[in-house]
Structure 1
Amino acid sequence: MGIVTAAASMSLDGFIAHDDDTPGHLFDWYSAGDVEVPNAGDLPPFRLTRASADHWTAWRSSLGAVVVGRRLFDLTDGWRGVHPLGVPVVVLTHSPPTDWAWAGPSTVFVTDGIGAAVAKGEALAGDAVVGLAAGTVAGQALTARLLDRVDVDLVPVLLGSGRRFFADAVVDPELLSDPTVCVPSARVTHLSFPVRR
């Protein structure tokens, strides 16, 4: 079984989106270079720096499934059934949609809590990594000690307010170890922090 990580582009003051859920300048690094990196589905390719492209493609190729919350699923319309990372999606929700136009085997809805959602992601991913989108889902997983790693694409902007990486999770302040990955690039620094078990 692979590891479980939470990952997000984050501002220096800890936000992953504005209050209205828009990313603002948090995704500027997706177009900061000249290396074209394709995405699955209908998301246009990224244009990354060489450092970001190498980091991103290695990270993406390690993934076997992603776990997201209902809010992100609704904001993206479930990526119209094809996640940009090209892996199955587990959606944690109280109430699965009954009339979603893009329903198919690559999207699974789980209503039994964060533990069941992560377990489903692990079953789908096999030996590959399970990635959790940030926010409430990441906060619940961190609080429940389900994460092995936290991956941050740290962007040099200050949002002042918005959606926090781990929502309102209250955890041990020494839960994260020193970074094992630090890749500086244009408009972003890629970091990975192991979670102490």
Structure 2
Amino acid sequence: MMSKVFVALSTSVDGYITGRDPGAGRGLGDGPTLFDWYFDGDTPSQVFDGFRLSEASAGVFDAVAGRVGASLAGRNTYDDSGWADGGTPHPTAPLVVLSHRPLPATHERQTLVTTGIEDAVAAARKFAGDKDVGLMGGDVTSAALAAGLVDEVILHQVPVLLGGGRPFFQALPQHIELRLVEAVPAPGVTHLHYEVLRSSRTDNPR
């Protein structure tokens, strides 16, 4: 079977994935963190060293992280996250970066794609093998949704209104319907897992 493409990001209730004024050298911006739930529990992650989550969050987080065979991020996410030194968002999966600008340096686990979201997803699928592709960032996610390339949307919704920052979703050319697969309440976060309904997706050969 072809690998699935999904996004799983922490988001505020008003739909931001960073605080205000994110960027290179400023990290994910100012304001409350969206990632306290990674470290506020007693259950160690089996995928990410150093993560200690609540029991409920650990089950969700590790199930999702274990699926990732390759990550795909846009340039804003790449710069905000400080991956210029060769880092990646996943401990074992390589990173594909979609950008029209060259990366600061060449790294073994990073691949630059400049020719659009379809080519970037195709490259990530090759790296992923029999695992799935995890999208990172609002621009890449919105582009992939508009192209009909996303299978699942997972929101780790933190109970805060940030009032500004980088939004999770950009404008889309049409509405996209989702089906709720699972909702898991946990300390400091609610995990919402949606399937993207194919009947509502842009007609795109896959």
Q: TM-score, normalised by structure 2?
A: 0.85
Q: Percent identity?
A: 40
Alignment of 1:105-184 (within 5 A): 105-166=108-169, 168-173=170-175, 175-184=176-185
Q: Could you tell me how far apart the structure 2 residues matched to 1:177 and 1:170 are?
A: 14
Q: Could you tell me how far apart the structure 2 residues matched to 1:5 and 1:36 are?
A: 24
Q: TM-score, normalised by structure 1?
A: 0.88
Number of residue pairs aligned between Structure 1 and Structure 2: 189
Q: Could you tell me how far apart the structure 2 residues matched to 1:188 and 1:28 are?
A: 9
Aligned to 1:57: 62
Aligned to 1:67: 72
Note the C-alpha offset of 1:84.
Answer: 4.2
Q: Which runs of 5+ in 1 are unaligned?
A: none
Aligned to 1:81: 86
In structure 2, give the amino acid aligned to 1:91: V
Q: Which has the higher helix share?
A: 1
Q: After superposition, give the CA deviation of every residue in 1:58-89 in whole Å (9 maximum; x if it has no partner).
A: 11111100000112212233263242422100
- What RMSD in Å do the two structures reach over aligned CA positions? 1.8
Q: Could you tell me how far apart the structure 1 residues matched to 2:173 and 2:12 are?
A: 20
Q: After superposition, give the CA deviation of every residue in 1:73-127 in whole Å (9 maximum; x if it has no partner).
A: 1223326324242210000010222x52xx3321100000111111101111012
Q: Could you tell me how far apart the structure 1 residues matched to 2:182 and 2:85 are?
A: 32
Alignment of 1:34-45 (within 5 A): 34-37=42-45, 45=50
Q: SS in structure 2 opposite 1:16? A: coil
Q: Which has the higher contact order (CA 8 A, sep 6+)?
A: 1
